[in-house]
Amino acid sequence: MSRPNQNDPATFEIVKNSLYKIAEEMRVVLAKTAYSPILKSAGDYSCGVFDRAGDMVAQGPDLPIHLGSMPDAVRAVVQAFGDDVYEGDVFIHNDPYFGGSHLPDVNVVRPAFHGDVHLGFTCLRAHWPDVGSATPGSYGAVTEIYGEGLRLPPVRLYDKGVLNEALEAVILSNVRTPDERKGDLGSQLAATLRAAERLKTLADRYGAERLVEYMADVMNYSDRLMRAALSELPDGEGYFEDFCDGDGIPDHADGSDAPFWVRMRVKKFGDRITVDFAGTDAQVAGPMNAPLSVSASGVFCGLKTAIDPNSLIPPNSGCWRAIEVTAPKGTVVNVEFPAPVVYANHEMSHRTADMVMGALAEFMPDQVMACSQGTSAVLTLGGLDPRNGRRYVSYETVKGGFGARPNKDGINVVASGISNTMNTPVEVLEMAFPVRVERYEIEPNSGGAGKFRGGAGARRTWRMLDGADATGALCMERMTSPPFGLAGGAPGIPATVTVTTPDGATRSLPSKGAFAAPGGSVVDMVTPGSGGFGAVSGRDPAAIGLDLLDGYVTPDAATRAYGAADPAALLKQAKHEDMP
């Protein structure tokens, strides 16, 4: 393989950094201009710079789930429009059967030009809090993609700078909060425009064709680094299987949901690695079916983290060339039309990212982590806000534990795996929507026990204000399938959600689907803790003492889960050492 940067290492480094900087700048522009809390506060969007073929050259510090699957979104535009692409054009689409991930993720794709030279594309994928369907937030348990909301195949929203007003009108009349959507779309346009301008400036400096070559060089560079890292690792093969809670469609007479299985075999030889999903269950009735690009996105995220554990290799499409992902058609990891998909986008990619660690543990146990929270823990709430008479849709994701590692504990309540969205500040949430958050705190004893403890999950409780009757919807995993431990570590605690209605009745909610939350209702969510790593007998008693001192672990759990004979003594010792 050629070494394109050999003769001019400085320019290569400069152009590479500039391309990543462009993706970062897109992120800033969107955060500062977007309207909906899920974008401006929670950051549920991703930015990238792509070459003319749709391969990702540079990505922002965004969400791995998007980043692994966005090349397919840009390729869909390339396939649909070929050379029929001009300066000032903007394409929009969200169809998982045409390179999208799920309908709420709306891709805005803008080609970048320098004179007549087509440099490539910029793409901003943003999660819209509503794209229609029967359920506010578009997270209902339906059985066909037609029930999931507005489907946009790759279409031209701007034609050489001229807005297709008819298309815009169709889009805005199919979403619940059109003013907000218009503001968000405006910010996606602004961010991609900024990126296209920055690419043009780079082309001014280095030459348009030369820039296109550098874009290829940047991906080749990551490919070389990945292969070098893979070559250093032992060859081997690992198998892992895990079950999902269900698909949101009741399977049993009591209304409960049947679990289904995902099976994965990872083989590593030399500088190549293959991941095959043979044996995985057939696709399901509800929206837990993933397009292959979504399943692969989780695999890429897990493999990148394990193969390059100190995160030194620039992430882009070049990183994935050494990786081959295969799955039988018609399974939950490689869906066939017209099955619904909305939950699987994050729930299945979380799953495949975590499972990769389980499979790799068989032959590279020093570079894996125990299972993290394994769910995006989505709660949507929608209705009329009695304070101002406006329709609203709130979308939140709540974080759980980040898995324990071979050399250190997990992390409490932080985005893991394919996710990296932020929480919505309680004060921002309550000013925007008719809810009051009653608690948001770390859940004790939720991290799996082990030599290294799993990260704790969170507890978050919402009360609907009086008169604010809402329709809620959940999308979670790991309620019946707790996050696994590795190397003898215990699993984290599974998730639970209850709703208490004003009549005082409390019931547990299933992991997915819509529910009624009349004004005065209380929704109480506990997110999963992550798995522990290593046998609990190896845990340093002083670490148990500190966990007791900070209340991450309670005395009875110290005895039950860690076998501590005298937790009071450990606590006393920790307290003594903490005093000045």
Partner 1 sequence: MAWRIGVDIGGTFTDVALVDDATGEIGVAKAPTTPQDFAAGVLSALAQAMERYGVQAADVGLLAHATTVVTNALLEEKGARAAVIMTRGFRDVLELRRSARPDLYDLFQDAPAVLAPRRRRFEITERIGADAEIVTPLAEDEIDALIETLKADKVEAVAVSLLFSFLNPAHEQRLGERLRAGLPGVPIYLSCEVLPEIKEFERASTTAVCAYVGPILASYLDRLVQATEALGLPPMYVMGSNGGVFEAAEGVAMPAMAVESGPAAGVVAAALAAAQCGRPDLLSFDMGGTTAKASLIQNGKYETTPEYEVGGGASANRWMNGTGHPIRVPVIDLAEVSAGGGSIAWVDAAGGLRVGPGSAGAEPGPVCYGRGGTEPTVTDCNLLLGYLDRSSLLAGEMEIDFDAAEAAITEKLAKPLGIDARAAAAAVIDIVNHAMAEALKIVSVERGHDPRDFTLAAFGGAGPLHAVALAEELGMAEVICPPIPGAFSALGLVGSDLQRDYVRTVYVTTDTADAAAMEAAFAELEAEGAAILDRAGTPPERRQFQRTMDARYERQSYELSVPAASSFDANALASAAEAFHDRHRQTYGHDNRGEPVQIVSLRVSAIGKIPALAIRQEPQVGAEPIKGSRAVLFRGETLQAEILDRVKMPKGRTAIGPSVIESLESTILVPPGWQAEMDSDGYIRITGASA
Q: Which of 61, 207, 386, 541 binds partner 1 (CB under 8 A)?
A: 61
The single-letter code of the amino acid at 488 is G
Nearer to partner 1, 50 or 433 (CB): 433
Residue 576 to residues 417, 546, 549, 569, Cα–Cα distance (Å): 37, 11, 10, 10
Classified as helix, coil or strand, 348 is: helix
551 forms part of the interface with partner 1 (CB under 8 A):
yes
Q: How far is the CB of 7 from partner 1 (least distance, A)?
A: 8
DSSP string, 433-496: SSEEEEEEEE-TT-SPPSSBPPPP-EEEEEEEPTT--EEEEEE---SSSPPPPBTTPPPPPPPE
Nearer to partner 1, 89 or 409 (CB): 409
**Listed ranges 82-90, 152-160, 290-298, 545-553: which one lies at the site for partner 1 (CB under 8 A):** 545-553
549 forms part of the interface with partner 1 (CB under 8 A):
yes
Strands 323-326 and 272-276: parallel
Q: Which of 24, 168, 271, 362 binds partner 1 (CB under 8 A)?
A: 24
Size of the site for partner 1 (CB under 8 A): 95
Contact present, 434 and 464 (Cβ < 8 Å):
yes
Q: How far is the CB of 551 from partner 1 (least distance, A)?
A: 6
Nearer to partner 1, 54 or 401 (CB): 401
**Listed ranges 128-136, 245-253, 362-370, 557-565: which one lies at the site for partner 1 (CB under 8 A):** 362-370
177-206: contacts with partner 1 (CB under 8 A): 180, 183, 186-187, 189-190, 193-194
Nearer to partner 1, 368 or 561 (CB): 368
229-268: contacts with partner 1 (CB under 8 A): 229
Nearer to partner 1, 7 or 116 (CB): 7
How far is residue 393's CA from residue 377's CA, in Å, rounded to a whole number?
16
166 forms part of the interface with partner 1 (CB under 8 A):
no
Q: How far is the CB of 3 from partner 1 (least distance, A)?
A: 6
408-467: contacts with partner 1 (CB under 8 A): 408-409, 411-416, 420-423, 425-428, 430-431, 436-442, 458, 461
DSSP-derived secondary structure letter, 365: G
8: number of Cβ within 10 Å: 12
Nearer to partner 1, 257 or 308 (CB): 308
Contact present, 331 and 280 (Cβ < 8 Å):
yes
550 forms part of the interface with partner 1 (CB under 8 A):
yes
74-93: contacts with partner 1 (CB under 8 A): none
289-348: contacts with partner 1 (CB under 8 A): 301, 304-306, 308-312, 315
Residue 192 to residues 24, 50, 85, 127, Cα–Cα distance (Å): 11, 12, 15, 16
30-49: contacts with partner 1 (CB under 8 A): 31-37, 40-41, 43
Residue 148 to residues 173, 174, 286, 338, Cα–Cα distance (Å): 15, 12, 11, 11
Q: How far is the CB of 225 from partner 1 (least distance, A)?
A: 4
Burial of 366 (0-12, 13-18, 19+ CB in 10 A): exposed
Nearer to partner 1, 312 or 505 (CB): 312
How far is residue 154's CA from residue 325's CA, in Å, rounded to a whole number?
25
458-517: contacts with partner 1 (CB under 8 A): 458, 461
The values of phi and psi at residue 387, to 5°, are -75, -25
Residue 173 makes CB contacts below 8 A (sequence gap 6+) with: none
173 forms part of the interface with partner 1 (CB under 8 A):
no
How far is residue 375's CA from residue 475's CA, in Å, rounded to a whole number?
8
**Listed ranges 27-35, 47-55, 152-160, 334-342: which one lies at the site for partner 1 (CB under 8 A):** 27-35
The distance between the two most distant Cα atoms of the chain, rounded to a whole number of Å, is 76
Q: How far is the CB of 97 from partner 1 (least distance, A)?
A: 27
DSSP string, 263-317: EEEEEEETTEEEEE-TTPPBP-SSS----HHHHHHHHHHHHHHHHSTT--SPPSG
Nearer to partner 1, 31 or 155 (CB): 31
